Each structure stands twice: as structure tokens, then as C-alpha cells.
Amino acid sequence: MVLMRPAMSLRGEVCVVTGAGGFLGKRLVRLLLEEEQTAEIRLLDKQIQPQLLESLEDCRGDTKLSIFEGDIRDSEFLRKSCRGASIVFHIASIIDVKDAVEYSEIYGVNVKGTQLLLEACIQENVASFIYTSTIEVMGPNSRGDPLINGSEDTVYECALKFAYSKTKKEAEWRTLQAHGEVLQNGGRLTTCALRPMYIYGEGCRFLLGHMGEGIRNNNVLFRMSRPEALVNPVYVGNVAVAHLQAARGLKDPQRRSAIGGKFYFVCDDTPPVSYSDFNHMVMSPLGFSIQEKLMYPLWLLYAVCFLMEMLCMMVRPFKRVVPPLNRQLVTMLNTPFSFSYQKAKRDLGYEPRYTWAEARKRTTEWLASELPMERERIRGN
């Protein structure tokens, strides 16, 4: 039996959280305030809503909260944000599964922004850098080869199609390559990357979108994935816990070398289920049902997507049109693709804090609170 050392404290540290105004960022900031007596947390984002600071007053304590609004592609802004800091949680990125964003834009934020932030850490002597990656850097591949209960050692042949997947993969690689870089003060930068599964919970815009589609379809959720295409989503609160555990591990001199330069899959005890059936699991208490079968046979979906992609490519010199669905997204929704968190448990001491029952309850209650406004918004349109 492996006995974990007591977790190091982040007491007195100055932390930077990029994407602090987003879904996961807000949850991590609150967790840091509730569990660690950090000296300062710097909330870095393109824009921070004033309501965020107000919502954190109940757990703020003596920690200083500082707002840094700016562009992650601005090197001077990043140096200013990192000056005097000791830990960076890099969560900010453009998430795009429909290839709706121009490649130059998504590359600039996801890859160049990460590189500039790493350079700022080296110049400003930031010791620890934790990168929020994604399961999509792993696949699935365009053939839809299944992967069941994969680990960090799993070999999976994959040629990534989405610009999002490609840029996150490169940014993760640059992060791990930067491990051990010499800081200006002679110290060494320590990095690691976390690869969460599909993240759900309070504030998940994808769930809101699916709920809106269900409302328009007379409270029947669309089925876009086969029931047997099992994946294992992860609750946002557990992902935040994994980030905290990674930061504690990187601070520990006896564990830093084992963790540094590595990536970890992050999931929890949410039962394996297809994406569409997951939507139904959290929305069925709200009166939603789900289509029994796919809207169309898979072969027909692929054929229609192919035609739409060809048409969009033909008109692209004149106008950028994004199809509502593409072949790679259909593949992702219909490929069994699940992973284990055992390495994160062993190396980081990560344990899911929220059970599936609690995570589901919290998510459904949040969706219930949003339901009246969503119905009103749809009626207004």
C-alpha cells in the first residue's frame, strides 16, 4: 500500500488564474479561497464581471483578490500579471468543436498565449505552472476507434481534426517541454498538465444549449450519440480539486520531480454513459424525455455532414459559413472513449470530492433555476 504524504499548503502564495471568469476558473478561485490561505489570487481574463467579486465575499477571508483584464497574447500584460507570483493555473482557452473560429485566432490564444505565458513565468520567476488541457488532445480519431478505461500509458493512433484539439495538444506539449527551464533567479520552472474529460456542472454552457434545443423540440432532447458510445464526464468541482492537488504536489520538493513534466487524466465516479444519455440523466427530473434512436442513421449523418462541409468550403473564399454539424463531431459523439484517474490518484493524491449523486443533484438544481429564463428567452425569439 502506498501512503501519501500530507498535502503541502499554499499558505502565503500568490496565485494567477487565467480564465478566472469562466466555468472552471470561477470554481477554482472559490476553492482556493475556501481551502488555502493564499496571500493573493490574481483573476486574469479578457473581462471579469463585477458580480464575480461580490459572489466571493463570503469566503474571501484575508486573501487579496486582484483583477487583471487584458489579452493573453500581450506579453507585457502577462509579465505584469505574473510579477511576484509563485503559481500559475492556466485555464484560459478558446473552446471550439464546430470549427467556427478562424485558425489564426484559436492558435493565437491557445498556443501563442500559452507560450507567452510560459515565457512570462520564466522572466518573472514563477515556480509552478499547471496547464488545463483536454481529453480531446487524445482523440477520438477520425475512424472512431474505441478506447475503454485508458491510462496515461495508452497508445492510441490519432490524427486530430479539430483546430481546437490541435492547438490544445501543441500548447500542452509546449507546457511539458518547458518543465525544468531555468528562471531568471536561477530556480527551475515546474510544469504539469491536466486532461479533464467533458466537464459538467453549474454554469456549463453546453448543457444550457442542449436544454434550449430540448425546449424548442417540445421538451424532447435530441439523440446525437448511440447509447453504447460510453464516455465518462467529470464534475467541475472535482476538476477544481485536481488542480489544487497538482499545485500542492508541485510545491512539495519530494514530489515535484515525479509530477513535473507529466500529464494526468482527470475524471471521477460519474457512470460511463453516452453524451446524449448524460444530458437526459441530468434533465429528466425537469420533465425532459429523449429520442429513442439517432435522428438519422450514422452513415446518413456522415454523408450529410460531408456535403455541408464541401459546400462551406466552396463558398469560403467569399463568406465563412459554419455547418451546424461536422463529421468529426459526429465521430466524437459516437465513439466509446473513457479513461481512468488512477495515476492522478497515485501521484497527485487526487480523489473525487463530489459523488455522482451529489454532482448530479447540484447540476440538475442549477438547470432548474435556469429553466424559466431559458423558456422565456426562447419564447421571445
Distance from the Cα of residue 170 to its chain's centroid: 16
- Whole-angstrom Cα distance, residue 374 to residue 257? 48
What's the one-letter identity of residue 170? E
Place of cell 512570462: 120
What is the torsion angle, in degrees rounded to the nearest 10, for the CA atoms of residue 10, residue 13, residue 18 and residue 23?
Answer: 40
CA-based Rg of the chain, rounded to a whole angstrom? 21
- Tell me the residue length of the chain: 381
Looking at residue 205, its amino acid is: R
Which is the catalytic residue, given 164, 235, 275, 354?
A: 164
- 65-69's contacts with Cβ under 8 Å and 24+ in sequence apart are 65/40, 65/41, 66/40, 66/41, 66/42, 67/43, 68/16, 68/42, 68/43, 68/44, 69/44, 69/45
Verify whether residue 164 is a known catalytic residue: yes
Residue listed under C-alpha cell 499548503: 9
- The residues annotated as belonging to the active site are 164
